[in-house]
Amino acid sequence: MKKRLLVYGLLLLSGIARAQPNTGYVLPPAIPDSLTYSTSNIARYINSHYQHNADKLQAAYRWITSHIQYNKDSMYYRFWGEDPDRKLSSVLKNRKGVCENFASLLSRIAEKCGIKTYVVNGYTKTNGSINWAGHSWCAVQLDGEWLLCDPTWDAGNQQQFYYYLLPAQTFIHTHMPFDYLWQLMEYPITHKAFKQGNDSKKKQEPFLFKDSVAQYLASDTLQQMEAISRRMKQQGLENDELRTWYAYNEMKLFIVYQEGDMIMFNQAVANLNTAKKYFNEYIHYRNNRFIPARPDAAINQLFTTIETLLKTAYQQLQQIGTRVENYQYDTEGLQGNLDNFASRVKNQRQFLQRYFAASQSERQQLLYQ
């Protein structure tokens, strides 16, 4: 057992040695305390004292790990509840937080320094023992390469960081993301392999994680959440923590889908009301025997606008309930309203077709019918 721990320790330290920032790093004057209560001010100070991203990141990491104290009872529950910006303001004010706060703080400052980062969620293993409690850390891109940091586990370390800019092959010995994308490896390991301490099986096709990460970060929030659920199901939900995180992600998806339904319903109603407004203008104009005279093209354009709004409202109605069952919105009532209005629009379109095809004398007769 001692031999195994020694080998593991050497492996971990070798990863740290390869990940050290450039030599010649000089500590700047301490960030004035008055500037350390917002991520924008911290990032502005770092940007003014450093040129290279590696130095900027280390400055942010050093400040966080030396000034923020881990205190699980001091902050909000990690996964939901409070606005992220408000959480970070509270972390900076109280100088206390949990792992998600450490990771989010590093990510936010780094992003404002022009460094691409991502907060990774998963669980951990120390001395061969799994800790099923959820944990958060950071993936960081420097010079086109993705590396991993855990500011929570380095909190209080001043002389040497043990979990700073580690390569994925080293980090995977202790940190397992819920979403295998953030293993950042060509051959991701399974949760079972992580638990048993096994390496990846290279018989599988290599996973092009760089391309996948780039595609993921370029996606919108909904697409990202859908991709997380898809990959988690693909790898398997083998324990309660995985199932809890999957359920949490599905809950967020449900909320987004419901919000999408609300937006579609409201937009459909708005388009229907706008179409009715234009239709009433048209009816008033027709009742006035199309006086003052307008070109046929102008009359036709007005009616085409009505038909386009009606068609769009139908399309929006059809999208409601396609991703999550609809219990909130009266789609049947809206459908009936649309159908009744569509019938009136159809009748008037038929009239206009006859009107445009008629001579001037025939048009007058049509207007009196």
Query: Mind listing the pLDDT tens digit for each residue in 189-224?
Result: 999 899 888 776 666 788 999 999 999 999 998 899
Q: How confident is the model at residue 78 (pLDDT cuts 50, 70, 90)?
A: very low
Question: What phi and psi, each to the nearest 5 degrees, are found at residue 307?
Answer: -65, -35
Q: What string of H, E and C letters represents the secondary structure of 1-49? A: CHHHHHHHHHHHHHHHHHHCCCCCCCCCCCCCHHHCCCHHHHHHHHHHH
Question: CA-CA distance, 225 to 19, in Å (whole number)?
Answer: 31
Question: What phi and psi, each to the nearest 5 degrees, are found at residue 201?
Answer: -90, 115
Could you say which DSSP state residue 128 is in?
T
Side-chain-side CA neighbours of residue 78 (13 Å): 22
Kindly report the number of other CB atoms within 10 A of residue 280's CB atom. 11
Question: CA-CA distance, 338 to 220, in Å (whole number)?
Answer: 32
Question: CA-CA distance, 350 to 359, in Å (whole number)?
Answer: 16
Closest CA to 317 of 303, 331, 298: 331
Is the model's pLDDT at 19 over the cut of 80?
A: no
The per-residue pLDDT for 256 is: 87
The two three-digit tokens of residue 328, written as one number: 């909130």
Kindly report the number of other CB atoms within 10 A of residue 42's CB atom. 24
Tens of pLDDT, residue by residue over 128-187, are 889 888 899 999 999 999 999 999 999 987 778 899 999 999 999 999 999 999 999 999
Average pLDDT score over residue span 29-35: 82
Among all chains, which residue has been given the structure tokens 């130095």? Answer: 55
Question: CA-CA distance, 236 to 227, in Å (whole number)?
Answer: 14
Please give the model's pTM, rounded to 2 decimal places. Answer: 0.72
Identify residue 192 by its one-letter amino acid code: K
The per-residue pLDDT for 123 is: 93
Tens of pLDDT, residue by residue over 297-312, are 999 999 999 999 999 9
Tell me how far CA of residue 236 lies from CA of 58, 230, 232, 240, in angstroms: 36, 10, 6, 12
Closest CA to 233 of 175, 180, 172, 174: 180
Tens of pLDDT, residue by residue over 80-135, are 445 667 788 888 999 999 999 999 999 999 999 999 999 999 999 998 889 888 89
The per-residue pLDDT for 80 is: 44
The per-residue pLDDT for 71 is: 84
The per-residue pLDDT for 178 is: 94
For 184-192, which contacts have Cβ atoms below 8 Å and span 24 or more sequence positions? Answer: 184/139, 184/146, 184/148, 184/209, 184/213, 185/209, 188/235, 190/235, 190/236, 191/235, 191/236, 191/238, 191/239, 191/242, 192/238
